[in-house]
């Protein structure tokens, strides 16, 4: 993991720590801080390297696909394709861009689902998944390994949101209450994980080939 990715991760955790300190009432301030952080790191990289308008278009397409996919499946709890789309998009574009796409997907989709104190945590969860997925850029990852990662992302996002729930709503916080909270969300995390893994396994190769073709054709994210 390069220095910018580590810095992005550390600063994101600090922002969430501040969220816990200043309480959920100031969630607007926190997710604007998240946006400034994300865009700041990304454009820091953007200014130091050559980028094209096609790369911006690719980012917009990935985010739009993930947001629309999340909205289309809104009626079915936890059955959402946004992790699948984010993982593949981040592998093509890299860790910093993956984090950026994750935060945009969470914020933009919540324009439909509703903004709230949970938004910065979703931005962080999807951002981290995009960042880690982006570390696989330019590597020949076997589809079974990618399927396992897709499965794990369902739980990773769920556990990060469990932390938000525990900090904001569980009182008192004890081992029993923490275990109960995590157990209560297990079914939804499991369904999300399975759905993501199945998508990766069935159509992951096809989508990756399509994204890589676009990347090579227009010489993106080199």
DSSP 126-185: HHHHHHHHHTTTTS---HHHHHHHHHHHHHHHHHHHHHHHHHHH-SS--HHHHHHHHHHH
Q: Are 94 and 131 in contact (CB under 8 A)?
A: no
- The domains of the chain are located at 3-218
Query: With pLDDT > 70 as the criterion, what percentage of the chain qualifies?
Result: 79
Our separate counts of H helices and E strands in the chain read 8, 0
Secondary element (H or E) of residue 106: helix 95-113
Q: Are 126 and 106 in contact (CB under 8 A)?
A: yes
Residue 114, SS3 per DSSP? coil
pLDDT tens per residue, range 112-155:
888 877 887 888 899 889 989 998 988 888 999 999 999 999 99
pLDDT tens per residue, range 8-45:
677 767 766 666 665 555 656 666 666 666 666 666 66
Nearest to 192 by CA among 113, 125, 140, 135: 125
Find the mean pLDDT for residues 61-81: 91
Q: Are 172 and 207 in contact (CB under 8 A)?
A: no
Q: Which of 33-37, 104-108, 166-170, 201-205 is predicted with the least confidence, judged by mean pLDDT?
A: 33-37
140 or 91, which is more confident: 91
Whole-number Å distance between alpha carbons of 113 and 138: 34
Enumerate residues 6+ apart whose C-beta is below 8 A from 130: 86, 87, 89, 90, 95, 97, 98, 99, 100, 101, 102
The CATH code belonging to domain 3-218 is 1.10.1760.20
Find the mean pLDDT for residues 53-68: 90
Q: Helix 119-134 vs helix 143-169: angle between axes, to the nearest 10 degrees? A: 160
């Amino acid at each position: 993991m390069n220095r910018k990715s580590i810095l992005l991760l550390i600063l994101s955790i600090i922002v969430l720590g501040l969220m816990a300190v200043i309480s959920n009432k100031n969630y607007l301030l926190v997710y604007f801080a998240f946006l400034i952080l994300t865009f700041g790191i990304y454009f820091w990289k953007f200014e130091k390297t050559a980028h094209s308008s096609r790369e911006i278009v690719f980012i917009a397409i990935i985010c739009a696909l993930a947001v629309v996919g999340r909205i289309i499946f809104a009626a079915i709890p936890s059955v959402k394709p946004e992790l699948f789309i984010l993982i593949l998009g981040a592998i093509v574009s890299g860790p910093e861009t993956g984090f950026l796409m994750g935060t945009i997907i969470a914020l933009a989709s919540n324009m439909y689902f509703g903004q709230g104190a949970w938004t910065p945590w979703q931005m962080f969860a999807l951002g981290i998944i995009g960042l880690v997925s982006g570390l696989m850029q330019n590597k020949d990852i076997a589809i079974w390994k990618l399927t396992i990662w897709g499965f794990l992302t369902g739980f990773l996002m769920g556990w990060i949101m469990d932390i938000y729930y525990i900090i904001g709503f569980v009182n008192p916080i004890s081992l029993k209450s923490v275990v109960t909270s995590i157990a209560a969300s297990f079914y939804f995390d499991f369904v999300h994980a399975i759905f993501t893994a199945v998508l990766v396994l069935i159509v992951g190769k096809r989508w990756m080939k399509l994204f890589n073709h676009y990347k090579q054709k227009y010489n993106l994210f080199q």
